[in-house]
């Protein structure tokens, strides 16, 4: 339905502004897209006031604007600072300081009063004093995310423990956290419902035991990768409200430990024991036997097969919605049992499973008609027959992964295009049977948003043009090593797929500057991988830099013909760039310095083997960006040629250097 | 009060029309009044605020809704119902708000929201809704700058 806004001259009483505030708020809340809200804000003062009042969530990238924004939005409930690279204790202190008495602007501390959720992921500059200030200033704090703050440890945990109302806490990869810190949190935040401690390698059974004794309301606990033993499972089994348990890749957990879970955790709905080397079918029998209402079972890459005894128990899992048993050997009996008893399945993961046959799949999908996600990566025996069966039975299919299933041809894709019209994601990497005809059929799935066609050497510009005409919602497209794709295909793509955000053109060596000019028309593009495009020059790169204003991630390794003009353009236009790979490019010293110095959001750079630069040039470039760069990859011999001073500065600022 | 299955509602323009009770109760306002008061006359008096056109529209809206049309037909009909110009939309908005009919309010709000989404830029929004730009140039510039640097 085409909406044509009519232009009428209004009597002032019928103006939309005469609507009351709550009605305007209702309208505003319907505008979910950020671009619409930005327009709304600019219309007039009243609309901006509505925007300020209603805004509950703020995610900030530029730290300079933070004080202004926090002053404008008094009713914030959630604040996301994970994209601010320079947030540290000093900044926090500034934000929380009250403006002097008698001044006109409101005191800055206001914004913290109602704040419920705080995301400080990767805020490596922050320390315990900053955290203490925040927890004291935000009395309503319920959810905190400090994941990937690798330097965080027990002192930071102590700061967090003063947030008494805390319900959710994410401390993934807080590497210095030990049992002492965990104990402080357990005692201080007794209302905790959700806790994630992935990769906090210093945690032991002692810490987990105290946690389970103090935080009895825990519903979600993730201890993946930790070196905890079966004793922890004994403690965890006492958590009466636990619904989700993450034990991925826990090396010391085994079948004996899972025995505790059989009689414990009565509310358990989701369990993840993927990659646990000590777990086998016997261990899972305990889990399944004790929890017939299990909703999600993740046992990828740990089971060698589904034993008969386990299958027998699985007959009771009538409510199972998700099962992932990647890497296991699957028998015909397995398919029979699952299809007879687990008809509520919505997601099935059989990636790299042995024994997946057409017959088995057909049996499975005819029973599990509500299937939305199906992963058959590397199930090489699958042919068009299975795909047709899937398409015909599972009309609600949203995601299909069939990487390396190279017997699939356009016949299977025709069936998908006819029946699975809700399909959003499909992975056809390395499916050499996919051709232009197949893409024509597939393009009927107009909801497609993620399409992976890496290594599909039989597709050409013609196939891509079908996608460009019909799949207008595409966000992500992978054309890795699709050597048949050239400039004409990119033209078709840029005409239709305006929402494209992520594109991989690596090794599509027919692409030239003309093709990149079309790429420059994709205004939403943020992630571009274009390795080894030997025909492109500075002209092409400039077109991309100028046009793709949201570009954040660029990988142009081995694009050896690109000259400085392209890099100058990058330095000037690509203000949103956060990660760049310039390895093996012919960038000069000056251009390198401009790129590293000018792009203030750049956090990661790969600069291996720059044929046109010198050691001095690299040193200068590193100095220009040392304040904010977080990760850099350099040519190994430079380790002894760069001054120790620059290496020390980088190290002191927390920058990680890798040598290649 | 409601002597039969139909209730008579009088609008501001003094027109009386009959509406089925179940439909009249969709309006929270009428529902509250009819449960609070026993006199039909009283109910009519309070309804005088509502001009005739609006009342008829709402009555129609609910008649159709309650006829249990199939989903597709209903959404088609709804889109036609709301395909009116700004003035009428405004009327519907005020009426739905006054009479407190949740479903109608949702429909109108969505329609206005769709209008805003369809507008290419701020100027078009202002023209569509007849709003004057009351920002100082500096203020507007500040907001535009904030818009471009933040992913809020």
Q: Given a cut of 80, is residue A655 above it in pLDDT?
A: yes
Question: For residue A580, is it within any domain?
Answer: yes
Please report the sign of the dihedral spanned by the C-alpha atoms of residue A205, residue A206, residue A208, residue A213: positive
Which residue from B90, B94, B131 is facing A43, i.e. has the nearest CB? B131
Residue A424 near residue A448, CB atoms below 8 Å:
yes
- Quote the number of domains for chain A: 3
Look at residue B136 in the predicted model and tell me its pLDDT: 85
* Whether residue B4 has pLDDT greater than 50: no
Q: Nearest C-alpha of chain B: how many angstroms from A42? A: 7
Bridge partners (DSSP) listed for residue A502: A476, A527
Identify the domain boundary among A292, A320, A348.
A320
Q: Are A196 and A174 in contact (CB under 8 A)?
A: no
Query: What pLDDT is stored for residue A175 in this prediction?
Result: 94
A282-303 mean pLDDT: 95
Across all residues in chain A, what is the average pLDDT?
90
Residue A8 maps to a domain:
no
The DSSP result for B90-147, as a single string, is HHHHHHHHHHT-HHHHHHHHHHHHHHHHH-SSHHHHHHHHT------HHHHHHHHHHH
Asked, for residue A479, whether it belongs to a domain, the answer is no
**Any bridge partners for residue A79, and if so which?**
A58, A118
Based on the domain organization, do A69 and A171 belong to the same domain?
yes
Mean pLDDT of A438-458: 96
Close Cβ partners of A332 (under 8 Å, ≥ 6 residues apart):
A355, A357, A359, A360
| Whether residue A127 is found in the same domain as residue A190 | yes
CA distance to partner chain A, nearest, from residue B98 (Å): 11
What's the rounded mean pLDDT across residues A622-644? 91
Is residue B144's pLDDT more than 50?
Answer: yes
Q: Are A208 and A185 in contact (CB under 8 A)?
A: no
Q: If we measure between CA atoms, which residue out of A336, A321, A375, A330 comes closest to residue A356?
A: A330
Kindly tell me if the per-residue pLDDT of A312 is higher than 80.
Answer: yes
For the cut 70, the answer to whether the pLDDT of residue B66 exceeds it is: no
Non-local CB neighbours of A458 within 8 Å, separated by 6+ positions: A432, A433, A434, A435, A436, A484
Q: In b/e form, how buried is each residue of A310-332, taking b as 16+ CB within 10 angstroms?
A: bbebbebbeebbbbbbbbbebbe
A75 and A152, same structural domain? Answer: yes
Q: Which residue has the higher pLDDT, A567 or A22?
A: A567
Instruction: Map residue A71 onto helix, strand or coil.
Output: helix
Which DSSP string corresponds to A341-403?
Answer: H-TT--EEE-TT-BS--HHHHHHHHHH-TT--EEE-TT-TT--HHHHHHHHHH-TT--EEE-T
B9 pLDDT band, cuts 50/70/90, is low
A194-253 pLDDT, tens digit per residue, is 999 999 999 999 999 999 999 999 999 999 999 999 999 999 999 999 999 999 999 999
pTM over 0.90: no
First to last CA, chain B: 53
Write down the pLDDT at residue A109: 64
- Interface list for chain A against chain B, based on CB atoms closer than 8 Å: 1, 3, 5-10, 14-20, 23, 26-27, 30-31, 33-34, 36-45, 47-48, 55, 57-62, 65, 68-69, 83
DSSP conformational letter for A254: B
Residues A214 and A270 in one domain: no
- β-pairing, B6-10 vs B16-20, is antiparallel
Strand, coil or helix: A195: strand
CA–CA distances in Å: residue B86 to residues A164, A182, B49, B93, B127:
51, 60, 21, 10, 11
Residue in B128, B143, B150 nearest the CB of A5: B128
Same-domain pairing of A53 and A202:
yes
Q: According to the model, what pLDDT value does residue B77 have?
A: 61
CB-CB neighbors (< 8 A) of B76 in chain A: none
The residues, any chain, with a CB within 8 Å of residue A195's CB and separated by 6 or more, are A168, A169, A170, A171, A211, A215, A218, A220, A221, A222
Nearest CB among A31, A44, A68 relative to B117 is that of: A31
- Both A581 and A601 in one domain: the answer is yes
Residues A559 and A651 grouped into a single domain: yes
Q: Is the pLDDT of residue A102 over 60?
A: no
Q: How far is CA A460 from CA A418, A435, A439, A469, A632, in A?
A: 22, 8, 10, 15, 37
Q: Is the pLDDT of residue B64 over 70?
A: no
Q: Within this chain, do residues A199 and A55 fall inside the same structural domain, yes or no?
A: yes
Question: What size, in residues, is chain B?
Answer: 152
Q: Which of A6, A15, A17 sits opposite B85 (nearest CB)?
A: A6
Q: What is the CATH number of the domain that holds A162?
A: 3.80.10.10
What is residue A531's three-state secondary structure?
coil
A587-602 confidence digits (pLDDT tens): 999 999 999 999 988 9
Q: Cβ distance A450 to A425 under 8 Å?
A: yes
Q: Please judge whether B117 and A36 are an interchain contact, meaning their C-beta atoms are less than 8 angstroms apart.
A: yes
Which of B84, B97, B129, B148 is best to mutate for the A interface (most A CBs within 10 A)?
A: B129
Residue B147, pLDDT > 80, answer no
Question: Do the domain assignments include residue A1?
Answer: no
- The chain B residue lying nearest A78, using CA atoms, is B152
- State how far residue B131 is from chain A, nearest Cα, in angstroms: 7
The percent of residues in chain A predicted with pLDDT above 70, rounded, is 95
ipTM confidence: 0.70
Cβ within 8 Å, pair B150-A1:
no
Q: Does A269 map to a domain?
A: yes
**Using one digit for the tens of pLDDT, what is the confidence trace for B97-109?**
766 767 777 777 8
A119 half-sphere exposure, CB direction, 13 A CA radius:
15
Distance (Å) of CA A219 to CA A184, A510, B76: 19, 53, 44
A655 vs A535 pLDDT, higher one: A535
Domain limits at A234? 221-320
The alpha-carbon gap from A596 to the nearest alpha carbon of chain B, in Å, equals 20
Q: Between the ranges A89-93, A113-117, A270-274, A626-630, where is the mean pLDDT highest?
A: A270-274
Contact list in A for residue B114 (CB cut-off 8 A) is 3
Lowest mean pLDDT among A149-158, A197-206, A538-547: A149-158
Does position B15 have pLDDT exceeding 70, yes or no?
Answer: no
Selection from A434, A355, A448 nearest residue A397 by Cα? A448
User: Is A159 found in the same domain as A297?
Assistant: no
* pLDDT class of B39 with cuts at 50, 70, 90: very low
- Do both A200 and A276 map to the same domain? no
- A298, A320, A342 — which closes off a domain? A320
**DSSP labels for A94-160?**
HHHSPPPTT-SSPPGGGGGTT--EEE-TT-TT--HHHHHHHHHH-TT--EEE-TT-TT-BHHHHHHH
Taking CA atoms, A232 is separated from A197, A208, A254, A260, A558, in Å, by 14, 6, 11, 10, 49
CB A368 within 8 A of CB A339: yes
Pick the last residue of a domain from A218, A253, A282.
Answer: A218
Q: Which residues of B touch A7 (CB under 8 A)?
A: 127-128
**Cβ-nearest to A3 among B86, B115, B121:** B115
Q: Residue B69 pLDDT more than 60?
A: no
pLDDT in tens, A126-135: 888 989 998 9
For position A646, what pLDDT does the model report? Answer: 92
pLDDT at A5: 40
Of B90, B93, B116, the CB nearest to A40: B116
Chain B residues with CB within 8 Å of chain A CB: 79, 85-87, 90-91, 93-94, 97, 105, 109-110, 112-119, 121-122, 124-135, 140, 143-144, 146-147, 149-152
Residues in chain A: 660
A180 and A202 assigned to the same domain: yes
Check whether B63 has a pLDDT greater than 80. Answer: no
Instruction: Give the bridge partners for B6, in sequence order.
Output: B20
Predicted confidence (pLDDT) at residue B2 exceeds the cutoff of 50 = no
Answer positive or negative: Cα dihedral of B89, B92, B96, B98.
positive
Helix (H) or strand (E) holding A57: strand A57-59
Do A61 and B143 lie within an 8 Å CB cutoff? no
Give the tokens for residue A643. 């001054």
User: Which chain B residues are Cβ-neighbours of A47 within 8 angstroms?
Assistant: 131
pLDDT band at B18 (very low <50, low <70, confident <90, very high): low
A564 in Cβ contact with A540 (< 8 Å): no
Say if CB A375 and CB A350 are below 8 A apart.
yes
Q: What's residue B33's pLDDT?
A: 60
The reply to whether A201 falls in a domain is: yes
Interface contact A10-B132, CB threshold 8 A: no
User: Is A7–B128 a contact, with Cβ atoms under 8 angstroms apart?
Assistant: yes
Binary contact (B112, A69; C-beta < 8 A) = no
A66 pLDDT tier (thresholds 50, 70, 90): confident
Residue A1: the pLDDT is 37
Tokens of A411: 């016949």
Alpha carbons A196 and B67: distance in angstroms, whole number: 51
CA distance B124 to chain A (A): 8
Partner-chain residue, chosen from B87, B97, B151, that has the shortest CB–CB distance to A61? B151
**DSSP conformation class of B8:** E
Q: What is the mean pLDDT of residues B26-40?
A: 56
Contacts of B146 in chain A (CB under 8 A): 65, 68-69
Residue B150: pLDDT above 60? no
Q: Do A59 and B93 lie within an 8 Å CB cutoff?
A: no
Q: 3-state SS string over A387-446?
A: HHHHHHHCCCCCEEECCCCCCCCHHHHHHHHHHCCCCCEEECCCCCCCCHHHHHHHCCCC
Q: Does some domain include residue A529?
A: no
A130 is a domain residue: yes
Predicted confidence band of residue A117 (pLDDT cuts 50, 70, 90):
very high
Q: Residues A114, A243: one domain?
A: no
CA A221 to chain centre: 20
Q: CA-CA-CA-CA torsion for A622, A624, A629, A634, nearest 10 degrees? A: -20
CB A382 within 8 A of CB A407: yes
């Amino acid at each position: 339905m085409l909406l044509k806004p009519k232009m009428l001259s209004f009597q002032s009483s019928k103006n939309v502004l005469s609507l009351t505030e709550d009605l305007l708020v209702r309208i505003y809340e319907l505008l979910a897209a950020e671009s619409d809200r930005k327009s709304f804000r600019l219309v007039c003062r009243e609309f901006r006031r509505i925007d300020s009042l209603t805004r509950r969530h703020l995610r900030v990238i530029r730290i300079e604007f933070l004080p202004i924004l926090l002053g404008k939005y008094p009713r914030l409930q959630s604040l996301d600072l994970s994209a601010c690279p320079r947030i540290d204790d000093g900044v926090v202190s500034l934000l929380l300081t009250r403006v002097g008495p008698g001044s006109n602007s409101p005191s800055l501390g206001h914004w913290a009063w109602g704040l419920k959720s705080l995301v400080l992921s990767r805020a490596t500059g922050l320390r315990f004093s900053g955290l203490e200030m925040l927890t004291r200033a935000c009395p309503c704090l319920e959810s905190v995310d400090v994941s990937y703050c690798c330097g965080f440890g027990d002192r930071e945990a102590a700061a967090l423990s003063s947030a008494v109302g805390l319900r959710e806490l994410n401390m993934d990869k807080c590497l210095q956290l030990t049992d002492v810190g965990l104990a402080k949190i357990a005692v201080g935040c007794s209302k905790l419902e959700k806790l994630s401690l992935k990769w906090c390698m210093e945690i032991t059974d002692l810490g987990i035991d105290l946690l389970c004794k103090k935080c009895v309301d825990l519903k979600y606990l993730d201890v993946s990768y930790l070196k905890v033993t079966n004793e922890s499972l004994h403690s965890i089994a006492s958590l009466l409200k636990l619904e989700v348990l993450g034990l991925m890749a826990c090396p010391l957990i085994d079948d004996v430990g899972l025995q505790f879970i059989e009689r414990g955790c009565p509310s358990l709905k989701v369990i993840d024991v993927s990659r646990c080397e000590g777990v086998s079918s016997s261990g899972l029998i305990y889990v399944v036997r004790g929890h017939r209402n299990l909703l999600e079972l993740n046992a990828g890459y740990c089971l060698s097969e589904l034993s008969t005894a386990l299958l027998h128990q699985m007959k009771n899992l009538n409510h199972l919605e998700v099962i992932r048993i990647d890497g296991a050997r699957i028998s015909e009996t397995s398919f029979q049992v699952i299809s007879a008893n687990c008809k509520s399945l919505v997601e099935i993961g059989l990636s790299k499973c042995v024994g997946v046959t057409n017959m088995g799949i057909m049996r499975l999908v005819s029973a599990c008609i509500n299937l939305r996600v199906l992963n058959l990566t590397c199930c090489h025996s699958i042919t068009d027959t299975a795909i047709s069966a899937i398409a015909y039975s599972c009309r609600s299919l949203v995601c299909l992964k069939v990487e390396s299933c190279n017997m699939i041809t356009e016949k299977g894709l025709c069936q998908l295009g006819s029946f699975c019209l809700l399909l959003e994601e499909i992975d056809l990497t390395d499916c050499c049977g996919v051709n232009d005809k197949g893409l024509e059929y597939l393009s009927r799935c107009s909801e497609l948003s993620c399409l992976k066609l890496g290594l599909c050497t039989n597709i050409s510009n013609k196939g891509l043009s079908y996608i460009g005409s019909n799949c207008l919602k595409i966000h992500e497209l992978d054309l890795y090593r699709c050597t048949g794709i050239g400039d004409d295909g990119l033209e078709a793509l840029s005409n239709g797929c305006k929402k494209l955000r992520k594109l991989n053109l690596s090794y599509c060596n027919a692409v030239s500057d003309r093709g990149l000019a079309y790429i420059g028309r994709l205004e939403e593009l943020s992630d571009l991988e274009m390795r080894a495009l030997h025909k492109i020059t500075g002209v092409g790169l400039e077109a991309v830099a100028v046009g793709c204003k949201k570009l954040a991630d660029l990988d142009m390794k081995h694009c050896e013909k690109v000259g400085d003009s392209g890099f100058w353009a990058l330095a000037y236009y690509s203000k949103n760039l956060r990660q760049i790979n310039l390895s093996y490019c012919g960038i000069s010293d000056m251009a390198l310095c401009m790129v590293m110095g000018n792009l203030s959001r750049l956090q990661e750079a790969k600069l291996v083997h720059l044929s046109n630069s010198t050691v001095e040039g690299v040193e200068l470039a590193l100095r220009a960006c040392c304040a904010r760069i977080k990760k850099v990859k350099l040519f190994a011999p430079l380790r002894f040629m760069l001054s120790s001073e620059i290496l020390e500065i980088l190290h002191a600022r927390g920058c990680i250097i890798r040598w290649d | 009060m409601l002597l039969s299955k139909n209730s008579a509602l009088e609008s501001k323009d003094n027109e009386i029309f009959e509406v089925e009770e179940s439909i009249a109760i969709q309006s929270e306002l009428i529902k509250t009044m009819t449960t609070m008061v026993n006199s039909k006359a009283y109910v009519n008096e309070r309804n005088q605020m509502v001009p005739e056109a609006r009342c008829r529209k709402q009555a129609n809206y609910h008649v159709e809704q309650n006829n249990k049309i199939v989903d597709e037909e209903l959404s088609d009909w709804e889109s036609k119902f709301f395909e009116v110009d700004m003035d009428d939309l405004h009327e519907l908005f005020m009426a739905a708000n006054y009479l407190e009919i949740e479903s109608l309010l949702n429909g109108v709000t969505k329609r206005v929201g769709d209008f805003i989404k369809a507008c290419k830029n701020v100027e078009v929004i202002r023209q569509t809704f007849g709003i004057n730009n009351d920002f100082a140039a500096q203020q507007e510039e500040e907001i535009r700058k904030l818009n471009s640097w933040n992913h809020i």
